[in-house]
Structures are given as C-alpha cells and as structure tokens.
Structure 1
C-alpha cells in the first residue's frame, strides 16, 4: 500500500462526508407519496417486465389513479357516493361483449374492497364485485390491453360469469389489484396469469380467449371476435 499524506486523507474524508450529505438531502425529499409511486412502479416491473409486451410503454407514464375526476365530475356524483371506500383507480375501460367480442365503454372503479363497472354516460352501476370474490387475473404476453377478471366458483358475483375487459392502462390496473391483495390480511394475493391462451367462464360456457398476431381489419389496432361457442379470438398487430 502506498503512502498517503494528511492532505490526501482529508480529501477522501471530505468526499465521503459530501456524499453522505447528498444522500441525506435526497432522502429528505423522498416523501411518502413519492415512495408509494416508486414502490408501485417497482411492483409493475416485477409483474410484467420481460413478460408482457405492453409493459415498456408504461414505464414513463406516471400512475395517476383517477383519470375521470370521479370526486369532482358532477356527472358521476351519484356513482361516487355509491362507493363507500376511497377510490384508488377510476378510468374508462372497454367491456367485451361475450356474444360478438365487441367492446362497450364502462367506468371502472377500484377500491381496497371492491371493483365497480358503471355506464360511462349515466354513471349507473352495472356490476359491483367484492375483491374477495376475485380469484385471479389473466392477460396475454402481447402488446394489448385485454385482461380477464376471474371470479371464484360458487361466489355470488360468479353467477353471470367472468369479465373480459380492455384498457390502455392495464399495467396500472393490474398492479394496483395485485398490491391490494398483498397488503390485505383478510384475502389471498390475487394471482396474475400471463398466457396467450386462457379460459374464461361465461355463464354456463367455458370459452377460450386466444391471442394471435396478424393484421386486424380495423387497421393497426387490436381486434376481438367471437369465432364459435368455445373460442374468442384476439388479433394483435405483429411487432
């Protein structure tokens, strides 16, 4: 080891102190809100990085939560009062029609205890599902926003079957759902299944949702079509 004079030691100590001060300053600016944002983004990465082609486009987008101003918009005043708990996410999603694969806009609300689907124009509640009735969520590996909410067999919510929805903010929705389960003591963590083929229960029928790469007829978007009683096909543009 070479000789180091007093001046050299002083420079090293000074550099260490400067670095510690910078770290302390950075931590002091790291509020609870910022910490929660980073934790949520980290959770999204753990769930979807290298597994879902849609994920990279979500990295630079902040997770806002409320995209329809549910507490301010007078159109949704009645809907907001219907939900007793704090709304963690409010957005417009597309509910896929089980008969033909076409989508209809719905307000999607998520709280720590339930999720609600409501008519976009009137705010009328179409479905309210306790999260305790939710067993898992299925998504594809592709660059699409489709996700299936699978309900526990025998639960009251399962009477009409599972829900197939689509949203550009799939990553945020599923991340929030997963984190709610992880932080709850009275329910199991919701499992996330990522596959280009999965089954959904539509009333008495089990239907396969299959994702294929191709050129949808509606241009460069994603198209969904009911092929027969047992198959619903989602065509996703090739990368």
Structure 2
C-alpha cells in the first residue's frame, strides 16, 4: 500500500472517530450506547476532576458545582454526603461555649418565633448573661446564690407608674430586683423563680408583667411591671434555668390586668412610631405604645 493510500485510510479513520464523538455529544443525555459511551465516560472524569478542585469550603454557603446530565444522580448523593461531612466537622470544632450559644438561640426560636415581634431583632446578637457595666457595684455582695443573668431594668410603680431604676437578677432558684443607690445595694424584691409567670405582649415592646403568686401578694403588694431592654435574651435565659416555657404567657388582647392594693389595675397596648410607657390621664391606666412592625423583616 502506497503512502497516499495509507494517508487516505488514516484520514478516513479519523473522520469516523470525529463523527462518533460528535454523535456521542449529540446523544450525551440519552441512554448509553456505543456512540456516546466514550464521551459520557470522559465527561464524568472531567466533572469529577473539576469537582475535586471546587468543593464548598464554607459550611453556611454550600454552592455545589453544576454537573453533566449523566452525573446528576451521583452529584446528588455526593452533595448530600459532603454536606453531612462538613456538618460533622463543624460540630466537632464547636467549643462548649459556642455550642451553648446555638442551644440558647434554638430555645429562643421555639419560644418566640412568630409569637413576639421583638424576636427578629434578637437574631444577630449573641445572648449575654451580664448586662451591667464595669462601673456598677458588684451585686454578688447582696446575693446568697450565684447569678445566672442580670440586667438593668425599669420598674414602674403600680400607682402613678413612676419609673424606678432596678437591677434584675436571676439565679438558679430566685428572681430578684435590686435597687442600686450610690455605693449601696438594697434587695427590693425576691421570689422563688419557679413560682412566677411572665406575661408579655406579642407586639414590638420591652414590657413584661411579673405575676406574683397569690400567697405572696400580701407581703409584696402585687405584680411587678417592668421594662426590660433585652427582653428576648432575658426570658430565654430564664426559661433555660427553669425549664418551664409554659411560664411565658402571651397576652391575647390589647388590655391586661395586674394585681395591686385595692381593685386590679389595667395596662393597655397601642401602636405608635416609637416605644413609650406612660399614664393615661383619662382613665389612669398604664398605656404602652409599641413600635410599628411595618417594614420589618419578621424572619
């Protein structure tokens, strides 16, 4: 066979290979056959090589690379297995402190998501067990138990609703309100923690009514009206201690009653541009203005 004939045979064979490859490309998404099996195998190999170099590195942003049609089933399994692997690695690296942060956030979600308008605002912030400034007097000197949570709050008088600065302290067994006078601490209220109920409004405000058990009202004169700046945090950490989520009660109407000497008092809720607590001059009730939720992202 002459050189020219050999060259013609070689070109003819090359044409057949190219035609087969083109047909394999055209039928790559169909059933595997003699024409497309080589192309499909090549596509699988190339995809696996690309995948190995572009696996997600961020547990929270798992963008999975696209795949050929022939690799869809394998890709789905690999994505699932790799996500499980990343989750396991992430969990193993969690410190006890970081794990506790997640557990508290999960508890807050169960307690308040879809129930309390303040909840979305608490999402970006890690819960803190001590909200006192470094210049405040140490409250350990007045406690006979270890504090679990403390925060400045405002207490409102049951009559006249005058504001009183207080420190709210939660221990394993007690709920306390402490008066912080210049260079002096005074215990104003102390109750068994598991005996109290916490009534809140679903609206966007910092109000909580501490319901005192009937057998203790005579000594303490009635329920406690508080404005708690980090309300979701305070109630979540309190429930974490008591393990009694049923003690948080959501008001079902725009008016609730509270116990005080004589006949019960009334607290009325309304909506305005900003939060406010004040005495209604018309009827003497405590009027609580909640912020409007219009435009907020209620995640």
Residue segments in structure 1 that go unaligned for 5+ positions in a row: 183-187
Q: CA RMSD in A?
A: 3.1
Structure that is richer in helix per residue: 2
Q: Distance in 1 between matches of 2:84 and 2:44?
A: 19
Task: Decide whether aligned partners of structure 1 residues 2 and 101 sit closer, same or farther in structure 2, where only a CA change above 3 A counts.
Answer: farther
Task: Decide whether aligned partners of structure 1 residues 125 and 226 sit closer, same or farther in structure 2, where only a CA change above 3 A counts.
Answer: farther
Q: What CA deviation, in whole Å up to 9, does each residue of 1:100-129 have, x standing for no partner?
A: 223221111111111111123332211111
1:171 deviates by 0.7
Q: Distance in 1 between matches of 2:110 and 2:79?
A: 35
1:16 deviates by 7.0
Deviates further, 203-212 or 145-154: 203-212
Q: Distance in 2 between matches of 1:159 and 1:97?
A: 12
Q: For 2:106, what is the secondary structure of its paired residue?
A: helix
Q: For 1:143, what is the secondary structure of its paired residue?
A: coil
Task: Decide whether aligned partners of structure 1 residues 49 and 86 sit closer, same or farther in structure 2, where only a CA change above 3 A counts.
Answer: same
Q: For 2:158, what is the secondary structure of its paired residue?
A: coil
Contact 1:115 1:129 in 2 (8 A): yes
Structure that is richer in strand per residue: 1
Q: Distance in 1 between matches of 2:78 and 2:272?
A: 61
Matched, 1:133 2:191: no
1:6 deviates by 11
Q: Distance in 1 between matches of 2:185 and 2:215?
A: 28
Matched, 1:224 2:282: no
1:15 deviates by 6.8
Matched, 1:63 2:127: yes
Q: How does 1:57-206 map to 2 (within 5 A)?
A: 57-68=121-132, 75-77=136-138, 79-121=139-181, 122-134=184-196, 136-155=197-216, 159-182=220-243, 189-195=245-251, 196-206=254-264
Q: Distance in 2 between matches of 1:160 and 1:101?
A: 14
Task: Decide whether aligned partners of structure 1 residues 236 and 161 sit closer, same or farther in structure 2, where only a CA change above 3 A counts.
Answer: same
TM (normalized to structure 2)?
0.65
Q: For 1:168, what is the secondary structure of its paired residue?
A: coil
Contact 1:209 1:234 in 2 (8 A): yes
Matched, 1:28 2:82: no
User: Larger relative contact order (C-alpha < 8 A, sep ≥ 6)?
Assistant: 1
Task: Decide whether aligned partners of structure 1 residues 21 and 214 sit closer, same or farther in structure 2, where only a CA change above 3 A counts.
Answer: closer
Q: Distance in 2 between matches of 1:50 and 1:189?
A: 15
Structure with larger Rg: 2
Give the match for residue 25 of structure 2.
none
Give the match for residue 3 of structure 2.
none
Give the match for residue 185 of structure 1.
none
Q: Distance in 1 between matches of 2:219 and 2:284?
A: 19
